[in-house]
Amino acid sequence: MEGVDHLAFERNKAQFDVDAMKIVWAGSSHALEVSDRMSRLVASDPAFRKDNRAMLGRKELFKNTLRKAAYALKRIIELRLSEEEASMLRSFVDEPAFTDLHWGMFVPAIKGQGTEEQLKKWLPLAQKMQIIGCYAQTELGHGSNVQGLETTVTFDPKTDEFVIHSPTLTSSKWWPGGLGKISTHAVVYGRLITDGQDHGVHGFIVQLRSLDDHLPLPGITVGDIGMKFGNGAYNTMDNGVLRFDHVRIPRDQMLMRVSRVTREGKYVQSNVPRQLVYGTMVYVRQTIVSDASTALSRAVCIATRYSAVRRQFGATGGNPESQVIDYKTQQARLFPLLASAYAFRFVGEWLKWLYTDVMTRLQANDFSTLPEAHACTAGLKSLTTSATSDGIEECRKLCGGHGYLCSSGLPELFAVYVPTCTYEGDNIVLLLQVARHLMKTISQLGSGKKPVGTVAYMGRVEQLMESRSDVQKAEDWLNPSAVLGAFEARAARKSVACAKNLSKFSNPEEGFLELSNDLVEAARAHCQLIVVSKFIDKLQQDIPGKGVKQLLEVLCSIYALFHLHKHLGDFLSTGCITSKQGSLANDQLRSLYSQVRPNAIGLVDAFNYTDHYLSSILGRYDGNVYPKLYEEAWKDPLNDSVIPDGFQEYIRPMLKQQLRNARL
C-alpha cells in the first residue's frame, strides 16, 4: 500500500507539539531549517544513493565514495553553500570518507597549532581543497601512548630543514584515515630532535604525494592497511600506512604555535601549555559527543517505528496481535535509549559551549579551564560512544530477526560506529584521564583550592559523604534535586574511596595501576552525573511548544532513574540511598515508560530524519515494512538467476553421487 501512512494512528496519539520538539532537537529554528533543506537535497539526488553499499567489492565501493566526494564539492560550489550548509550536506551524504579527516582534523590541526603566517599559507589551500590532508599520529606500535611515538623529526641546521624518518617497523604510521590512497598532505606527529636533544612529540605539515601525478614523493612509502570490520561500512575510508626514509621538509612546516625551532636550531617554547599539541583531539572528542546523539537517535528511530509496526501474540476476539512496543520489556529496553539520545544531544550542546569558551580564553592566554575541557571531552566521549555502540546493538535485537538484515540499516550503522570507542582515544584510557583529574581535585581540597566547573560538587564533599536521600514515595524521584543529590553523593563517594585507597600506596603510580578498575568506575559515575546535571540545566531554559518541556522532563527522569536502577549496587553500597528508595525509583520508571508510550513515534519523528538518511526498511516513515522487505529480498544478486553460480559445478555432482551411493 504505497503512499499510506501505516503509523498515522500512532502519530495521532502524540500529546506534544512535534514541530516545536524538532527545533529543540536541532538546536534552533535556523539549524532545523538548514538541516532539513540539506537532508532533502541529498535525499532527492540519485547521485547520493547508498542502498547498495553492502553488495559492493572494496574497489568499487571506494571509487563510489570518491565520486560522491567530488560531486558533493561540485554541488557545494554550484549552490554557493555556506560553511555550515556544506558541512551539513557532507554529513547527510553519510559515508565515511577522506573528507572527514581533511575537514575534521587536518584543517583544525593547522588552525589550532599553526602560527598566523602558517594559517595564511596553508588554510586557503586546504579550504579550496587544492591540497587534501589527513592526521597522521598513530603508529603500528603506539596509539594510546602518544609520548611513545617513534617517528623522528631531526633538525638539520646546515640546510634549515627537518629530516623525517621511520627508524623501526613499529614507527610506521598506521590507521590515519584518508592517508592510504588520497591525501596529498598530512599533519605528521613525531619526536622533535635538535642538536641531539629529544623535545617530545610535535606536529609537522608534510607533503606526501605529488600534486601533478599523485605519486608518493621520494622517500615515502604509503598504502592502505586493508579491509576493516563489516562489509561496506568503514571500508569507504582509506586508512593508511606510511613510512619515511629521511624525508626533508622546510623548517617552516613545523606547526609552531606551541613551540618553535629557530634558524640556528634553538628550541623555543611559547607561553602556551605543551598539551595544546593534543588540541585537535580535544576538538574532535567534543564533536564526537554530539555525533553520538545522532547515531543513537538513528538506531532508536528505526527500532521505535518498527516496534510500533511489529505485532506478536495477544490476538483476542478478532483483534490483531499486540504491537511489540506495548510490551513492558520492550519499553524498558527502548525508552532509556530514546532518553539517552536526547540526553547526549543536550550534553553535546553544553560541551560545544564549554569548548568555545576554552578557545576564547586561550586567545587571551587564560589556560585555567584547559584541564576541565580535557577531562570533560575525554570522559563524555568515552561515556557516550560506549553507550551508543551498545545502544545500536540493543536496537538491532529489539527488531528481532529482521534487525539482522542489512536492509534494516542497523548492521552498517553498528559497523561504522563501533570504532568510535577506540579512535580519538580508547574509551578506557580516556576514563583513566578523567580519574586522574578527579584524584588531583581531591588531593587539592585541603590546600583551599576551590574546585570549579563540573567538579564543583567536590567542594561539598564532606556534606556529600554524610547525605542521605529523603525520597519517601515514587514521585519524589521526579524532583531534580533528589536525583542530583543521589548522583553527586555516589560520584563523590566513589572518588573519595579511590583516593583513600590510593593514599595507602607509597608509590602513587603503582597505586593508580593497581586500582585502575575502581578509578574507571569512579570516572564513569562522575561522567553520568555530568550528563544528568546538564539535562536538568537544559530544562531550566524557556522551552516553548505544547507539552514539549513536560515530555523532556519525563525523558530526563528516565535517563537518571534508569542509570540509578542499572547501577543500584553503587548507590546502595555507597549508602546514598536505601533499598526501599531503589525500588521506588523502579516503580517510578514504569510509570514514566507509560507516559512516553503514546508519544514514542512523535519523539523519534522530531529527529526529522529522511528515509534516505535512515536507510532502513524497518525505520521507514510510513511504516510500510513488509511489502518493502519482500521487494528488497528479490534485489539480492543471488536472486538474479534461479539456479546460482556454483550449483552445477559443485552441488549437482555431489547430489548425483549421493543418490548413486544410496542406490548401491
Ligand X SMILES: Cc1cc2nc3c(=O)[nH]c(=O)nc-3n(C[C@H](O)[C@H](O)[C@H](O)COP(=O)(O)OP(=O)(O)OC[C@H]3O[C@@H](n4cnc5c(N)ncnc54)[C@H](O)[C@@H]3O)c2cc1C
Of the pair 183, 259, the CB lying nearest ligand X is at 183
| Assigned C-alpha cell, 471 | 525520597
Segment lying near ligand X (by CB under 6 A), choices 5-13, 65-73, 136-144, 454-462: 136-144
Angular region, 313: left φ>0, alpha ψ -120 to 50, beta rest: left
Please, what is the minimum distance in Å from the beta carbon of residue 102 to ligand LOKYT7XV?
10
The catalytic position among 393, 412, 424, 488 is 424
Please, what is the minimum distance in Å from the beta carbon of residue 559 to ligand X?
26
For residue 223, give the H/E element and its range: strand 220-224
Segment lying near ligand X (by CB under 6 A), choices 138-146, 202-210, 282-290, 458-466: 138-146
Please, what is the minimum distance in Å from the beta carbon of residue 529 to ligand X?
23
Please, what is the minimum distance in Å from the beta carbon of residue 93 to ligand LOKYT7XV?
8
| Assigned C-alpha cell, 489 | 553523593
Angular region, 400: left φ>0, alpha ψ -120 to 50, beta rest: left
Segment lying near ligand X (by CB under 6 A), choices 86-94, 118-126, 418-426, 615-623: 418-426
Of the pair 374, 597, the CB lying nearest ligand LOKYT7XV is at 374
Within 13 Å, how many C-alpha atoms sit on residue 136's CB side? Answer: 34
Strand partners, 188: 136, 204
Q: Please state, in angstroms and rounded to a whole number, the distance separating the CA atoms of residues 11 and 316.
A: 24
Report whether 304 belongs to an annotated binding site.
no
Segment lying near ligand X (by CB under 6 A), choices 31-39, 375-383, 416-424, 524-532: 416-424
Q: Please state, in angstroms and rounded to a whole number, the distance separating the CA atoms of residues 265 and 297.
A: 52
Please, what is the minimum distance in Å from the beta carbon of residue 478 to ligand X?
38
Report whether 226 belongs to an annotated binding site.
no
Q: Draw the binding track, 219-238, toward ligand X (x: CB under 6 A; -: no contact).
A: ---------------x----
Residue linked to cell 590541526:
109
If contact means CB under 5 to 8 A according to the sort of partner, which of ligand X, ligand LOKYT7XV, none does residue 413 touch? ligand LOKYT7XV
Q: Which of 428, 539, 568, 629 binds ligand X (CB under 6 A)?
A: 428
Strand partners, 209: 216
Of the pair 324, 380, the CB lying nearest ligand LOKYT7XV is at 380
Within 13 Å, how many C-alpha atoms sit on residue 48's CB side? Answer: 25
Q: What is the DSSP letter of 308?
A: H
- Helix, strand or coil for residue 111? helix
Q: Does 151 bind ligand X (CB under 6 A)?
A: no
Q: Does 203 bind ligand X (CB under 6 A)?
A: no
Q: Draw the binding track, 157-196, toward ligand X (x: CB under 6 A; -: no contact).
A: ------------------xxx-------------------
Q: Please state, in angstroms and rounded to a whole number, the distance separating the CA atoms of residues 477 and 588.
A: 7
Inter-CA distances, 339 with 24, 47, 67, 586, 587, Å: 14, 35, 37, 16, 17
Three-state secondary structure of 357-425: HHHHHHHCCCCCCHHHHHHHHHHHHHHHHHHHHHHHHHHHHHCHHHHHCHHHCHHHHHHHHHHHHCCCC
Q: Which of 154, 239, 408, 608 binds ligand X (CB under 6 A)?
A: 239
Of the pair 10, 94, the CB lying nearest ligand LOKYT7XV is at 94
- In the complex, the residues that contact ligand LOKYT7XV under the rule CB under 6 A are 94-96, 100-101, 104, 135, 137-138, 143-147, 177, 275, 278, 281-282, 370-371, 374, 412-413, 416, 423-425, 429, 433, 436, 440
Q: Does 137 bind ligand X (CB under 6 A)?
A: yes
Contact in structure between 13 and 601 (CB atoms under 8 Å):
yes
If contact means CB under 5 to 8 A according to the sort of partner, which of ligand X, ligand LOKYT7XV, none does residue 428 touch? ligand X
- Helix, strand or coil for residue 186? strand
Residue linked to cell 549437482:
652
Please, what is the minimum distance in Å from the beta carbon of residue 153 to ligand X?
16
Closest CA to 13 of 280, 324, 308, 321: 308
A 10 A CB-CB count for 655 gives 11
Q: Amino acid identity, residue 209?
A: R
Q: What are the φ and ψ backbone dihedral angles of 626, each rounded to 5 degrees?
A: -65, -50
Q: CA 224, 227, 231, 233: dihedral to nearest 10 degrees?
A: -50
Please, what is the minimum distance in Å from the beta carbon of residue 5 to ligand LOKYT7XV?
26
If contact means CB under 5 to 8 A according to the sort of partner, which of ligand LOKYT7XV, ligand X, none does residue 106 touch? none
Inter-CA distances, 214 with 185, 506, 613, Å: 11, 57, 33
Contact in structure between 203 and 189 (CB atoms under 8 Å):
yes
If contact means CB under 5 to 8 A according to the sort of partner, which of ligand LOKYT7XV, ligand X, none does residue 278 touch? ligand LOKYT7XV
Active site annotation includes 424:
yes
Q: Which of 28, 144, 479, 639 binds ligand X (CB under 6 A)?
A: 144
- Residues lying near ligand X in the complex (CB under 6 A): 101, 135-138, 143-144, 175-177, 234, 239, 419, 422-423, 425-426, 428-429, 432
Catalytic residues: 424
